[in-house]
Structure 1
Amino acid sequence: MTTDKAGKDTFPKLLLHNSMVRGELPAIREKSRGIWRTTTWRDLSDEVKALAAALSARGLERGAHVALVGDNRPRLYAAMCAAQWLGAVAVPLYQDATAEELVLPIQRAEITHVFAENQEQVDKLLEILPRCPTIRCIVYDKDRGMRHYKWEQVISYSALLQQGRELASSKSDFLQAEAERGAGQDAAFLFFTSGTTGPAKGVVLTHASLIDRASVAAAADGLTDSDVAMAYLPPGWIGQCLFSYVQPMVVGYCVCCPESSDTMLADMREVGPSCFLATPRVLEALLTQFSIRIEEAGGLNQALYRRGMVAARRIAERELAGEAVSVTDRLGAPVWGLLLYGPLRDMLGMSRMRVAYTAGDAVSPDLLMFFRSLGINLKQLYGSTETGFFVAMQRNGKVKLDTVGPATEGVELKFTAEREILVRSPGLFKEYHRDPEKTAQARNGEGWFYTGDAGYIDGDGHLRIIDRMKDVGVLKDGTPVAPKDLENKLKFFPYIKEAVALGNGRDKVCALIDIDPTAVSRWADRQEISYTGHADLASRDEVYGLIANAIADVNAALARDPAQAKTQIQRFAILSKELDADDGVLTRTGKLRRDVIAQRYGPVVDAMYGGQSEVRLDIGSDHAGEETAELKIRDVKVVGSAQVNRAA
């Protein structure tokens, strides 16, 4: 096997290289039944080779597609590499997708083999099997509840692995040749986009494109095989796959899989990762947990926390601005670090963290500053599935809160007259799966990809994202409105889980609010407010007052910026039911499906702009037996010139 740098152009070749140069180092760890179990690079290589032998015997061919449906598990990633060893394409799907949501990607990719984590996933596959006749083999990992499954297509991972180990020696030459046969320009992955702008598209990415982007990003932050990362986000999202599969193959660092989402924070504290990826939604959830615990703490602890965080933010802001830190703050920082920042980082499992990233959606500058104030080197990434994820990233010592940093090495950026961002990069996708028309629409003849995002380069060469092109709007008076920016400001408050800002073509900005049930219910308990459930809690006047105060604070901040003063939020309604991906209003990565929301909550939007104080909404008979809900609509305090829009 070729082991020089030029020869390591596919993931199986990288795996074999890692097995040779760092064979006894940990490749992946999994917590199972309270115990961390370690797989070394040599063990992983042997397992992948055996799986490849078994899959070959079960008819997997070069160019075929293998689906993976499950959470982050060592066997899931071993199956990815085994499929690629034989020249097949890995297709990670979301583990929480419904059976119906699995049909389209399986049909479009003509999936032949599927690796499923457990009985739940197998049941979904068996349900749709008559509509997906290309499936020839379903492999399950966990055997709980699977004893009596006698379908011919279904086999356990353990049985498949055993079969492969028996075949490996006799197929050794064949497997060696198959690994050598792979090339960087071969398709490695087929990812399906989140579907925020319409039906999900299948994005084909090659080994070379992903290896290039991962290498550039790792070099920018000096990642090595001594680093440790956590794998806890959906593997169906390219971001998680890059950090838990692609970069470890390139760099050789260890990936740790928590036992479950419920034990994530506790498992992180045990591992102490040095490298971490989070979506803004995850960071918002962590901030909410922080806020809840502080609100329930004693008065002295609250006072110390607030004073310490004010000092931390002041120091962080001065450092980001390149200004000198005062003597008082410089002397006080170690004390606060001992009393506050250190324990908070430890509580989050971030005491050893060297670098953390947030990606997948726009993040509030206040949220970014909060974590940086704790001493966590949190930075933004910008990219998409089609661009190989790493387009722009913030650099150490040069972080600007309102940008995503300069373009990464090898990336070229330009902009249309409407400020749409165009990207040309070695990481660009090969094609939309079997859709040459959409591929041609997204990529022009010179290799530029139209991202659909609006933005610009500032005076320091940093990329600033405004919003999605289709979401950027204007009020009737011509004032630009970027909904995402307003929504992020609202979600910084722990009582607001999600927000939908409205205003394009209207005379003012209004908002739909989805409250955080945990934070608001605990607040209500402290206020001795009785309620019977989420819908009742969301309808209480006291809760409306709580949210109105939060929005008023946002409005006060907007009023201080002349460019945003007229985008203050003037009316709002609190939704009686949480926004949920199972209802189609969110993607599986938690992004808003604005078109679906606009249709479903159209009567509420019309009532807000029509001056009504309440509206009855038809929410369908499948929502806990309820068919309608009464939603209140309330005004919010605005500051300055924005008030003129009330009379419009």
Structure 2
Amino acid sequence: MSVQGRITGWPVNDAGRPATLVAALAANAAQAGRQPGFREREYGIWREWTWVQVLDEVLALAAGFETLGLKPGHALTVVGDNRATIYFAMLAANALRAFPSPVYPDVPVEEFKNFVRFGDPDIALAEDQEQVDKLLDLRAQIGRPTTIVYDDPRGLAHYAEPGLIALSEVAERGRRRLAEAPGLAADLVSRAGADDTAVLLYSSGTTGLAKGIPLRHSNITGGIANAEAGGYFRKGERLFAYLPTAWVGDFVFSLAAGVLLQAVINIPERAETALHDLREVAPTFYLAAPRAWDAMLTRIQVGMADSTPLKRRLFDWFIPRAIELERKRLKGHKPTATEVVREWLGNLLVYAPLKDWLGLSRAERAFTGGEAMGEETFLFFRALGIQLKQFYGQTETCALTAAQVEGSVRIDTVGRAMPGVDVRIDDNGEILIRSASVFYGYADNPEATAEALTPDGYLRTGDAGRVQPGGDLVVLGRVSELVETAQGERFIPTFIENRLKFSPYIRNIAVLGAGRDDLTAIVCIDYEATGHWAEQRSLSYSSYAELSQKPEVIELITTEIARVNELQPDALRIRRFVNLHKDFDADDGEITRTRKLRRKVIEQTYARLIDALYGGAREVTFDAKITYEDGRQGTLSRNLSIREV
């Protein structure tokens, strides 16, 4: 049954636009019904849904979920990778005035109960057998979810546990209901309102238990309208939905923006094929974290090292000159005639082929955010002709606060406030935000809400910053992380850490020194980039642990830290460091799922190693606890060298 032409009305806001995501979906079906809305690669073939077909699927699932007892104001726990059917189920929950609450698929069952604390989530949607098993273990511990809906049936044919049902069966139930009740489709489109919750996300939990962050439809539609007004989004984008579904960036930048702006939402077959699928899609809008851009640059460098001598010579000649030209451009330089000709020739021979190989040949809008980006990486991609820019936002603001605009791009700022966003700095140097995209408060946590929101509606971001005369916002780091050395020198560790992570050889780092005489650091090398560096120098190694303790690698990291030390006041230079024999890991509780440092955990877990850093030892044997993918725990022991800088 198709609803095409049958639904002519939907809730609108004061601007006359669809007031909810489901309303926007109905508008798309009515206005651009035959245009593709979703595409997903399956067994190497791109499967496509038009907007009419998407609306049909969403309404069928909504009618089906209602038979399972999904009620207004309740959460639908969602766990799995990016799938069109999972996105349809999220929108179906919205149609019932319920809301999806996505969870990172790599969260172990021991932590899972932390992400089902709000919204009475008695129904869960799992992508596959692995996630079903996790939810069954969760139910054995806390008694819910009572109903588990699964998308991929492989491996589940002989499961006899109660409450298991296939997503396809839920949709079939819904289709039967829609056929029997002709007015149900229009009713489902119009139920949700602007003030209903559209999604429940969770904070990163760097300082404790993650807080629930409900975002209303009005927050999301308002934030995307602001971004569109500033030119950061355009109608009809080609999007690439590969980001974790539990991250605000995926829900807002992929699903919500795609639906509200009639984009084409392209979904890779799986994480392992994402880079290949990206090239086939060639999106017009692309968002990636700084580390993903770093990995992309490393991939290029590794590929060029294995290329033909001619290609290497062309790359080595054009790229440094392009980077230097871009560096001058950002300072206001206008290219000379010679530079214009060289850029044209470089684009023909080097830049355009590289962009095509990456899948970014049509990326008119490319963004990075979440943490600081290394200058060399930033300049490299802009030198290729990709207009990479930085943006700034939090989950509490739908991640839509400020972003750079072409013609006013600087490496040390996050750009200007988007239209409709008011930014101010309070007396303590904290950044305050007021916008339609700012949430209304944390789930069941009035104390945290009172701390986060001022009486006049500003969000206390927790970030220290300043606004430059031209309006650009500079973010210095977390206000809560402002600490002092024993001599009274104030500093924010994340600011120094981000500078150090500009190095391609440093993946994670913890800068220490609060209440101490000087600064030290625990370094986690970037295995891929450092491994490639070692291979070029014929250095053999068999593991991350062995590579980290190579004298040559320790000397490499010493050089990287010394370079950053030159930019620091003498009292805030790192004096000693140690290369850790493992990376900080979310499963070990050392970082969040979004790769933010849990500083208190680091200080407790590595207390003996920290004592050695400050005790003058030249080496220390340390046993690091590690958690395997199956949940088992072990110990990785290594003799670690401590180096003076």
1:564 CA drift (Å): 4.3
Q: 2:280 matched to which residue of 1?
A: 270
Q: 1:452-463 counterparts in 2 under 5 A?
A: 452-463=462-473
Letter in 1 for 2:523: I
Cα 1:292/1:202, change in 2 over 3 Å: same
Q: 1:588 matched to which residue of 2?
A: 593
1:59 CA drift (Å): 1.4
Cα 1:158/1:527, change in 2 over 3 Å: same
Q: 1:280 matched to which residue of 2?
A: 290
SS in 1 for 2:622: strand
Q: Which moved more, 1:605-614 or 1:76-85?
A: 605-614
Q: Which moved more, 1:61-70 or 1:523-532?
A: 523-532
Q: 2:559 matched to which residue of 1?
A: 549
Over the matched positions of the two proteins, sequence identity in percent amounts to: 37
1:630 CA drift (Å): 1.8
1:31 CA drift (Å): 0.7
Letter in 2 for 1:2: G
Q: 2:604 matched to which residue of 1?
A: 599
1:605 CA drift (Å): 2.1
**Structure 1 CA distance, aligned partners of 2:218 and 2:33?**
24
1:627 CA drift (Å): 5.7
| 1:571 equivalenced with 2:576 (yes/no) | yes
Unaligned runs of 5+ in 2: 1-7
Q: 2:333 matched to which residue of 1?
A: 323
SS in 2 for 1:439: helix
Q: Which moved more, 1:115-124 or 1:426-435?
A: 426-435
Q: Indicate which of 609, 620, 640 corresponds to 1:631.
A: 640
Q: 1:301-340 counterparts in 2 under 5 A?
A: 301-340=311-350
Q: 1:2 matched to which residue of 2?
A: 9
**Structure 2 CA distance, aligned partners of 1:569 and 1:256?**
45
Q: 1:109-128 counterparts in 2 under 5 A?
A: 109-128=119-138
**Structure 2 CA distance, aligned partners of 1:380 and 1:622?**
34
Q: 1:76 matched to which residue of 2?
A: 86
Give CA-to-partner distance per residue, 1:42-87, whole Å, 9 cap, x none: 1000011111111111111111111111111101110011111011
Q: 1:495-510 counterparts in 2 under 5 A?
A: 495-510=505-520
**Structure 2 CA distance, aligned partners of 1:364 and 1:78?**
37
Q: 1:101-116 counterparts in 2 under 5 A?
A: 101-116=111-126
SS in 2 for 1:584: coil
1:297 CA drift (Å): 4.8
| 1:608 equivalenced with 2:617 (yes/no) | no
**Structure 2 CA distance, aligned partners of 1:472 and 1:312?**
38
**Structure 2 CA distance, aligned partners of 1:340 and 1:76?**
39
1:140 CA drift (Å): 0.8
Q: Indicate which of 88, 95, 99 corresponds to 2:105.
A: 95
Give CA-to-partner distance per residue, 1:74-120, whole Å, 9 cap, x none: 01110011111011021111111111221122133320211111001
- Indicate conservation of the 8 Å contact 2:135/2:145, yes or no: no
1:296 CA drift (Å): 4.5
SS in 2 for 1:30: strand
**Structure 1 CA distance, aligned partners of 2:559 and 2:429?**
35
Letter in 1 for 2:520: C
1:299 CA drift (Å): 6.3
Cα 1:593/1:298, change in 2 over 3 Å: farther
Cα 1:546/1:346, change in 2 over 3 Å: same
Q: Indicate which of 158, 176, 197 corresponds to 1:148.
A: 158
Give CA-to-partner distance per residue, 1:7-27, whole Å, 9 cap, x none: 610111111000011111111
SS in 2 for 1:92: strand
- Indicate conservation of the 8 Å contact 2:95/2:191, yes or no: no
Cα 1:621/1:65, change in 2 over 3 Å: closer
Give CA-to-partner distance per residue, 1:146-183, whole Å, 9 cap, x none: 11112231111111111211111223424422432321
Q: 1:230-241 counterparts in 2 under 5 A?
A: 230-241=240-251
| 1:351 equivalenced with 2:351 (yes/no) | no
Q: 1:334-413 counterparts in 2 under 5 A?
A: 334-413=344-423
Cα 1:603/1:102, change in 2 over 3 Å: same
Q: 1:30 matched to which residue of 2?
A: 40
1:123 CA drift (Å): 0.4
Letter in 2 for 1:433: A
Cα 1:621/1:235, change in 2 over 3 Å: closer
Q: TM-score by structure 2 length?
A: 0.93
Cα 1:566/1:395, change in 2 over 3 Å: same
Letter in 1 for 2:143: P
- Indicate conservation of the 8 Å contact 1:87/1:178, yes or no: no
Cα 1:206/1:391, change in 2 over 3 Å: same
Q: Which moved more, 1:527-536 or 1:345-354?
A: 527-536
Letter in 2 for 1:446: D
**Structure 1 CA distance, aligned partners of 2:595 and 2:504?**
17
Q: 1:407-556 counterparts in 2 under 5 A?
A: 407-556=417-566
Q: Which moved more, 1:98-107 or 1:78-87?
A: 98-107
Cα 1:41/1:491, change in 2 over 3 Å: same
**Structure 1 CA distance, aligned partners of 2:35 and 2:636?**
57
- Indicate conservation of the 8 Å contact 1:420/1:452, yes or no: yes
Letter in 2 for 1:610: G
Letter in 2 for 1:589: T
User: How many pairs align?
Assistant: 631
SS in 1 for 2:547: helix
**Structure 2 CA distance, aligned partners of 1:627 and 1:320?**
46
**Structure 2 CA distance, aligned partners of 1:372 and 1:611?**
44
Q: Indicate which of 615, 619, 624 corresponds to 1:619.
A: 624
1:552 CA drift (Å): 3.0
1:489 CA drift (Å): 3.1
Unaligned runs of 5+ in 1: 637-648
Letter in 2 for 1:91: S
- Indicate conservation of the 8 Å contact 1:189/1:206, yes or no: yes
